[in-house]
């Protein structure tokens, strides 16, 4: 008789399958399938913090510097981020839930012609050429120039792609997507592939989290909302699953969470708030017994963990969090612990010092030898 699966097994599997042995940047993104992006640097952008833990010799900004050579796309999935280029066939042609009005459509067509004629276009150039007046609410507070927001919408609709970034600003080129087989079977197959990508990235997933993530998928694939719900309803026939402590959990069918071959990294990791290991707050609390909170948008007096707290993973345990900042080339850190204090084990201090040294190099080191895109 098989030994029942435990939360310890799920915890071990969650860490080992996501924090895999560091590899090249292209290979790591392909394995993840999606890297969530965030504009905030505290001390680095989320995409860099995520890849730092999974890519050999990664330095902050490598993804942006090498983006054009990597066969990736910036696009919407469950959130905004980076996906392998072949995923676009699953996400596009995208049919947004709210259609453009005629005036917006005409302006978008004119901008598209402008971008096609130039080959590449910076938002500043579009704004100067068309003098779109007015400002509209931005995603992260403040506001955006109206032409910039139109470019954002054109990108989301699949009319444009991000060719590269200049000082963090998207530079666009024209894009078109092939017509898709719209038969029920083909639509279901695309939905299955997208939900498979979610499960592969965030497993093992408690059933409520799987449902929530597929709800978020309406952002990247609103035209497949009915089909993705059907995939979730049939999850028990498609994915590995088990009931643990009264909750059903799912993972890719070819994996075995109970395998003793899973050996998580024994050192210490400081993870991004959007790292796949920490992203699902429901799962986090179920596996580690405390509630991690992302408080960057919480008023300072109400924060309990800090502006951009990074979950602190030592071996298989989330012991607390760290806030990091770089001052004149020196990495400063503030730690918090669920138990109220740091472990007394000298091995913890050594592991913490090693991770902080790695972070300093990640944030400041640019001197390594260049390699080919395939090698790096």
In a domain, 75, yes or no: no
The answer as to whether 280 is a domain residue is yes
pLDDT band at 367 (very low <50, low <70, confident <90, very high): very low
Report whether pLDDT(221) > 70: yes
Look at residue 47 and tell me if it is in a domain.
Answer: no
Are the C-beta atoms of 164 and 171 separated by less than 8 Å?
A: yes
Which among 356, 360, 204, 202 has a CA at the least distance from the CA of 267? 356
pLDDT value of position 227: 98
Q: What is the pLDDT of residue 140?
A: 44
pLDDT, position 148: 87
Domain end among 137, 154, 174: 174
HEC letters along the chain: CCCCCCHHHHHHHHHHHHCCCCECHHHHHHHHCCEECCCCCCCCCHHHHHHHCCECCCCCCHHHHHHHHCCEEEEECCCEEEEEHHHHHHHCCCCCCCCCCHHHHHHHHHHHHHHHHHCCECHHHHHHHHCCCCEEECCCCCEEEHHHHHHHHHHHHCCEEEEEEECCEEEEEECCCCCCCCCHHHHHHHHHHHHHHHHHHHCCEEHHHHHHHHHHCCCCCHHHHHHHHHHHHCHHHHCEEEEECCEEEEECCCCCCCCCCCCCCCCEEECCCCCCCCCCHHHHHHHHCCCCCCCCCCCHHHCCCCCCCEEEEECCEEEEEEEEEEECCEEEEEEEECCCCCCCCHHHHHHHHHHHHHHHHHHHCCCCCCCCCCCC
Count: domains in the chain: 2
Structural domain includes residue 52: no
248: CB partners within 8 A, 6+ apart: 206, 207, 236, 241, 242
Q: Which domain holds residue 168?
A: 102-174
Region 3-12: mean pLDDT is 93
pLDDT of residue 365: 73
User: 274 in a domain, yes or no?
Assistant: yes
* Residues 222-243: tens digit of each pLDDT: 999 999 999 999 999 999 999 9
Domain termination residue (choose one: 151, 174, 197): 174
Distance of alpha carbon 89 from alpha carbon 94, whole angstroms: 10
Ramachandran category for residue 219: left, alpha or beta (phi over 0 → left; psi -120 to 50 → alpha): alpha
Tens of pLDDT, residues 195-213: 999 999 999 999 999 999 9
31 within a domain of the structure (yes/no): no
Whether the model pTM is above 0.85: yes
Give the CATH number for residue 134. 1.10.10
What pLDDT is recorded for position 2? 66
Q: Is residue 158 part of a domain?
A: yes
Task: Please indicate, yes or no, if residue 309 is contained in any of the structural domains.
Answer: yes
Confidence of residue 264 (pLDDT cuts 50, 70, 90): low
Task: Name the token pair of 76.
Answer: 């919407």
Per-residue pLDDT tens digits for 34-66: 999 999 999 999 999 999 999 999 999 999 999
Please give the structure tokens belonging to residue 42. 């505290």
């Amino acid at each position: 008789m098989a030994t029942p699966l435990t939360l310890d097994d799920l915890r071990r599997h969650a860490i080992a399958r996501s924090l895999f042995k560091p590899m090249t940047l292209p290979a790591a993104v392909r394995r993840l399938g999606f890297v969530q992006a965030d504009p905030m640097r505290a001390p680095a952008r989320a995409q860099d913090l995520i890849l730092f833990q999974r890519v050999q010799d990664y330095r902050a900004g490598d993804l942006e510097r090498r983006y054009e050579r990597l066969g990736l796309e910036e696009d919407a999935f469950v959130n905004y981020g980076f996906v392998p280029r072949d995923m676009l066939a699953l996400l596009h042609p995208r049919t947004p839930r709210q259609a453009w009005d005629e005036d917006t459509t005409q302006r978008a067509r004119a901008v598209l012609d402008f971008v096609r004629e130039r080959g590449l276009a910076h938002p500043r150039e579009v704004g100067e050429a068309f003098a779109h007046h007015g400002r509209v609410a931005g995603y992260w507070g403040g506001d955006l120039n109206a032409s910039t927001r139109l470019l954002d919408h054109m990108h989301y609709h699949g009319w444009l792609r991000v060719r590269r970034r200049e000082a963090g600003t998207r530079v666009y080129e024209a894009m078109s997507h092939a017509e898709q087989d719209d038969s029920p079977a083909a639509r279901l197959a695309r939905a299955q592939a997208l939900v498979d990508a979610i499960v592969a990235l965030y497993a093992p997933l408690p059933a409520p989290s799987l449902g929530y993530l597929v709800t978020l998928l309406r952002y990247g694939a609103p035209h497949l909302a009915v089909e993705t719900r059907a995939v979730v309803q049939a999850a028990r026939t498609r994915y590995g699953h088990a009931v643990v402590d009264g909750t059903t959990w799912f993972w890719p069918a070819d994996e075995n969470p109970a395998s003793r071959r899973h050996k998580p990294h024994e050192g210490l990791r400081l993870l991004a708030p959007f790292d796949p290991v920490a992203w699902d707050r429901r799962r986090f609390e179920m596996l580690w017994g405390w509630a991690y909170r992302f408080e960057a948008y919480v008023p300072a007096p109400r924060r309990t963990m800090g502006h951009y707290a990074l979950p602190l993973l030592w071996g298989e345990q989330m012991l607390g969090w760290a806030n990091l900042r770089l001052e004149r080339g020196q990495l400063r850190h503030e730690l918090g612990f669920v138990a109220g204090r740091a472990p007394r084990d000298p091995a913890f201090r050594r592991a913490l010092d090693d991770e902080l040294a790695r972070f300093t190099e990640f944030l400041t080191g640019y001197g390594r030898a260049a390699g080919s895109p395939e090698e790096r």
